[in-house]
Amino acid sequence: MRDKILNTAADMFLTYGFKSVTMDDIAEAMGISKKTIYTHFSTKNKLVLATSFHVVEKINCGIEEIREKKQNPIKENFDIKHFVSHHLKGEKTSPHYQLQKYYPKAYESLKSKQFELLENCMVGNIERGIEDGFYRKGIPVDFITRIHFVGMMGIKDTELFPIEEYTHPKLMEYFLEYHLRAICTLKGIKTLEELIDSNEK
């Protein structure tokens, strides 16, 4: 039952936003009593935190499946971007911003977990990219990993990037190209531009 609650809550939070969805809404959607939810999660804050970690873990599992394919690191970045964007439903309701504004403790806990997972993914991608000649030798891997994380967090700021003007998938697309052009070799740039062209078609 706990996993069913988490899956339903995750779907509703990402669709309608953390603030908008109530415990009553989740109970009604599942056809259960609110008391059943409270048996597993004593407060909405605890459900929000558990759901956030649940979503991150599911995304991480999907990313690991993509990484196991050992494709060229630039293509890997694009596949991860598409997977994350699809899994977060385009973030039309700005759940990241709502989490930060209304559930700051959950946001800070999640932020640390996100960096831990992204660091593992990014370091592996960059090191393989350097070895295969797609990324420049001598680039500061730790710095790039951290600045990438800061950028990914930054583009979720709906005050800086209003959702009326910037869709999240488009922001991810812009940011990924910006990131890759900064670290790619000529070989990498050629692969990047081929991927951009094929996506546009």
pLDDT tens-digit map of 141-198: 999 999 999 999 899 888 899 888 988 888 999 999 999 999 999 999 999 999 999 8
Per the CB < 8 A criterion, the answer to whether 113 and 90 are in contact is no
Q: Which residues contact 105 (CB under 8 A, 6 or more apart)?
A: 45, 49
CATH class belonging to 53-200: mainly alpha
Burial of 167 (C-beta count, 10 Å sphere; 0-12/13-18/19+): middle
**Dihedral over alpha carbons 74, 76, 82, 83 (to 10 degrees):** -160
Domain boundaries, the chain: 53-200
pLDDT tens-digit map of 112-150: 888 988 898 999 999 999 999 999 999 999 999 999 999
The backbone torsions φ and ψ at residue 68, rounded to the nearest 5 degrees and listed phi first, read -65, -15
Look over the chain and give the mean of its residue pLDDT values, rounded to a whole number: 91
Cα 102 from chain centre: 19
